[in-house]
Amino acid sequence: MHGKHILLGVTGGIAAYKSADLVRRLRERGAEVQVVMTDGAREFVTPMTFQALSGRPVRTDLWDPGAEAAMGHIELARWADLVLIAPATADFLARLAGGRADDLLATTCLATGAPIALAPAMNQQMWANPATQANVAVLKERGVHVFGPGTGDQACGEVGAGRMLEPTELAALADSTLVPSGVLSGRRVLITAGPTREPIDPVRFISNRSSGKMGFAVAQAAREAGAEVVMICGPVALASPAGVRRVDVESAADMLAAVQAEVRPDDIFISTAAVADYRPAQAATQKIKKTEESLALQMARTTDIIGTLAAGQQRPAFVVGFAAETDTVEQNARTKMLRKNLDMIAANEVGHDKAFDCADNELIVLWRNGRKLLPRSAKTQLARELVELIATVIAERRTEASRAAPLSANATKA
């Protein structure tokens, strides 16, 4: 959301007090926020509150002589990258569905070409009323986004659907609604992240120390760079980055099946997952009892996900692997890249409190005719640098291919 313009409309509901926190959450994500309040909203929260939080004078009046001398509602409509109405009362839903232009907020909604999102907030019976539901259906048909409402206790003492979603939820949804622009705009990125768990019996499994933090950071960076991002992850305790579609899996076999179901020929595939190399050959169907002094497990190889993908008919356009090594890091990584026919590999040293479950990391990135060291930094920053490098290498290949095409054509003619 860095540098994005969010026009936040606040209408006359008790949930308007939450909108002040929403301004903070949007600005934390880097957005610029302009608040427009209806007359009803000013009965609950003062414009001064929103001015202090947004750093901008609050707009309230369609008939403001100073603002409308320059067609202020048109200016607002053009300024916005997203119009978010929170709370959106039943009255405002009805007016917007009816195409009314009787106050500044409604007029701006009619005049904008930006996406519009609504966060409904009202009594549960008002939300369930057929008239409200009909208005919501009309708005959805027109492409308006509807966030929520949530369900729970209401200010009137009743319980049910109609609560405005919390500010953190709304900020994340707003983020995912915006169409990002960046070096991967128009591209689709498929990422694997986290560990896998290979069952020994119904209560035990073999796994590893991967937290998934690097993969989640790469997913966030790819989304920030404008890509459509799908993430397939093993068992991790991390929240999904905004705007990223997530598929949860357990074992290496589950991850392979999910990858094969999702992959497309034009994808950028980034395999950050720490997939188990071996699994128990036969998982017990019941809990293994502690009866013997020792227990021997027969282990079998798991299918190599990235190797299978890079060598198969479903090969993505660009394949990036990760190599977690405890010794001779660069040599082992280069061997892995060549053996598995990868386009790029990011290598890092693990063990001795390095990489796994840490907030920072360091990468040696290798590709067929290049090498770059990404110095130790926070994984979020490191991920952005890696995504930038991937985009650069892809662009260079595209340029090389376009230069080679005329030469091939001339050779054919000759």
Tens-digit pLDDT profile for residues 267-289: 999 999 999 999 999 999 999 99
Q: Of 54-68, 206-220, 256-270, which has the strongest mean pLDDT?
A: 256-270
Confidence bin at 214 (pLDDT 50/70/90): very high
The model's pLDDT over 162-171, given as tens digits with 9 standing for 90+, comes to 889 999 999 9
* pLDDT of residue 2 exceeding 80: no
Q: Of 58-62, 63-67, 131-135, 140-144, which has the strongest mean pLDDT?
A: 131-135
The answer to which of 64-68, 92-96, 192-196, 343-347 has the lowest mean pLDDT is: 64-68
What are 255's two structure tokens? 């991850």
What are 282's two structure tokens? 């036969």
For residues 175-202, average pLDDT? 88
Asked if the domains 5-177 and 188-277+295-405 are classified in one and the same CATH topology, the answer is yes
Ramachandran angles phi, psi of 164, nearest 5°: -65, 140
Q: CA Rg, the chain, in Å?
A: 26
Measured distance CA(101)–CA(307) in Å, rounded = 59
pTM of the shown model: 0.64
Measured distance CA(355)–CA(362) in Å, rounded = 8
Q: Of 215, 225, 217, 292, nearest to 249 (Cα)?
A: 215
CATH for the 5-177 domain, from 3.20.20.70, 3.40.50.1950, 3.20.20.140, 3.40.30.10: 3.40.50.1950
Count of other CB atoms within 10 angstroms of residue 323: 22
Q: Are 154 and 163 in contact (CB under 8 A)?
A: yes
Q: Pick the residue with more confidence: 404 or 132?
A: 132
* pLDDT of residue 69 exceeding 50: no
Which pLDDT value is given to residue 180? 64
Give the position of tokens 């539901």.
133
Q: Of 190, 196, 248, nearest to 222 (Cα)?
A: 190
HSE of 62, CA atoms in CB hemisphere, 13 A: 12
Q: Are 161 and 150 in contact (CB under 8 A)?
A: yes
CA distances to 332, 338, 400, 403 from 408, in Å: 36, 26, 12, 9
Q: Which residues pair with 235 in a beta bridge?
A: none
Residue-averaged pLDDT of the chain? 88
The model's pLDDT over 386-401, given as tens digits with 9 standing for 90+, comes to 999 999 999 998 888 7
CATH hierarchy code of domain 188-277+295-405: 3.40.50.10300
The model's pLDDT over 329-376, given as tens digits with 9 standing for 90+, comes to 899 999 999 999 999 999 988 766 555 657 788 899 999 889 999 999
* pLDDT of residue 414 exceeding 60: no
CA distances to 165, 210, 324, 325 from 361, in Å: 35, 13, 11, 13
Give the position of tokens 């590893």.
208
% residues pLDDT > 70 (the chain): 92
* pLDDT of residue 10 exceeding 80: yes
156 in active site: yes
For residues 124-153, average pLDDT? 89
For residues 252-272, average pLDDT? 95
Give the position of tokens 């997939």.
275
Measured distance CA(393)–CA(273) in Å, rounded = 22
Q: Of 19, 11, 13, nearest to 103 (Cα)?
A: 11
Which pLDDT value is given to residue 353? 59
* pLDDT of residue 328 exceeding 60: yes
SS3 343: coil
SS3 letters for 123-143? CHHHHHCHHHHHHHHHHHHCC
Which pLDDT value is given to residue 175? 84
Domain boundaries of the chain, sorted by first residue: 5-177, 188-277+295-405
Q: What is the DSSP letter of 190?
A: E
Measured distance CA(183)–CA(398) in Å, rounded = 14
